[in-house]
Amino acid sequence: MADNSKKSGTHSGASKIWGGRFAGGPADIMQKINASIGFDWRLYAQDIAASKAHAAMLAKTGIISDDDGKAIAKGLGAIADEIENGEFDFKQELEDIHMNIESRLGELIGDAAGRLHTARSRNDQVATDFRLWVREALVDLDAALKGLQAALIDRAQEHAGTAMPGFTHLQSAQPVTLGHHLLAYVEMLGRDRGRAADCLIRLNESPLGAAALAGTSFPIDRAMTASALGFNRPMANSLDAVSDRDFALEFLSLAAILGVHLSRLAEEIVLWCSSPFAYAQMSDGFSTGSSIMPQKRNPDAAELVRAKAGGLIGALSALMVVMKGLPLAYGKDMQEDKVPVFESADTLALCIAAMTGMVAEASFDADRMKADAGKGYATATDLADWLVREKDLPFREAHHVTGALVKLAEEKTVSLEQLSLEDMQSVSPEITESVFGVLSVEDALKSRDSFGGTAPGRVLEAVAEARKRFLG
């Protein structure tokens, strides 16, 4: 026996919470793999709130006495204070946040503590706590995204008329304005906020009272606990209530999509800050130097935002795989749901704050961007459009004529506007002087006045609309 306990590292005492049928305690390694307190301590506020709601309901329905209900509420309040003040001793042998709190409650109020777990299981308890946690995370995420949108909108207003090259295939395509480009991200983040709002609607039902999996024989009032915790209603099916984590998967999905959006903006910042582009410079606060190359100013924060999308996407796939083969109802596998969610929420908070700072403090080189906006025959489409509009050419023919003009300009190593009228007419005799009115970058920008287009006037309108839609 002594040898055995040495081999497995068996603890002598069985768990006070669930060890009634056990003579010996778990092996050290069992305790280690089983414990979640190292991360689920973060659910303490939700656990206490849910326990308070449960105890109040048990007292109201006469399942426990009023005195016990009051003692439990008071003890839970004291535990919240201890945790807030860093005085609470989290114990691995008590596995998780639920049993750590319940055990401490026993120390503080004695026998009444043992009545709190009536008509409840850790299965509905953890599902409730976790929903409450994700709900708060969604609210915080929305506020952070709103802040980033505000920074982008301010910069877009400032640069509503600042020309820059617009790219497709990362080849100069048509001039756009920097304001227009930044507003594209405001729209993406707006949809990310929409996904968070959708997730919140579906998430906001209470699992509490589902008990272990089948409901309970006590006359509980699930509507009462649901409403005390701000849920819209109790979940309709007890098996579903304890066993699905789709709300966490939705959170991780929207986090991954948002991570992709942030990563694309981060990538553009990295490009814009590189010396061949030199469109933007990050402030000192958001740049780092090189230990060997004194001239360097590196956009590390943007690179890290770009990289952290990897972790966000990984977190989603981790929990998808955890969940995909689980039979109903609860399985301990589900304990692995928390780390990806906590980490994704933390990562997003950090990335959004860094991105907000970068955007707010970046300086842009408008001259440099404007010079590039006209390069690469970026107004060729405007020339083709002019041929269609003024000379009634079918667009395909206009495209062909313009292609020949680009070729000619290339041979002469000049821009389209630098071709003489004679050069132009050598390709297409019907071209007249007025063509030069559409070939400058300014003209190209101004002409793209369709709804959602890049014309500076449209961009200013879009800025005002975005303020109403997203910041109101």
- C-alpha 44, offset from chain centre: 23
**Catalytic, out of 169, 217, 363, 450:** 169
Nearer CB in complex with ligand ARG: 204/335: 335
Instruction: Report the distance separating Cα 43 and Cα 55, nearest Å.
Output: 18
Whether 400 is catalytic: no
**Catalytic, out of 274, 283, 290, 420:** 290
**Smallest gap from residue 75 Cβ to ligand ARG (A):** 21
Nearer CB in complex with ligand ARG: 69/207: 207
Nearer CB in complex with ligand ARG: 334/387: 334
Classify residue 358 by burial, with Cβ atoms within 10 Å: 0-12, 13-18, 19+.
buried
**Smallest gap from residue 335 Cβ to ligand ARG (A):** 4
Exposure string of 322-347, with b = 16+ CB inside 10 Å and e = fewer, is bbeeeeebbeeebbbbbbbbbbbbeb
Nearer CB in complex with ligand ARG: 191/332: 332
Amino acid, res. 276: P
Instruction: Report the distance separating Cα 462 and Cα 466, nearest Å.
Output: 6
Q: Is the dihedral of CA 139, 142, 148, 149 positive or negative?
A: negative
| Residues comprising the chain, all counted | 472
**Beta pairing, strands 233-234 & 205-206:** parallel
Whether 169 is catalytic: yes
**Smallest gap from residue 122 Cβ to ligand ARG (A):** 4
Query: Which residues of this chain interact with ligand ARG, rule CB under 6 A?
Result: 36, 40, 96, 122-123, 126, 330, 332, 334-335
Nearer CB in complex with ligand ARG: 32/389: 32
Q: Beta-carbon neighbour count of residue 288 at 10 Å?
A: 14
Q: Beta-carbon neighbour count of residue 399 at 10 Å?
A: 16
Give ∠ CA 300-301-304 in degrees, rounded to 5: 85
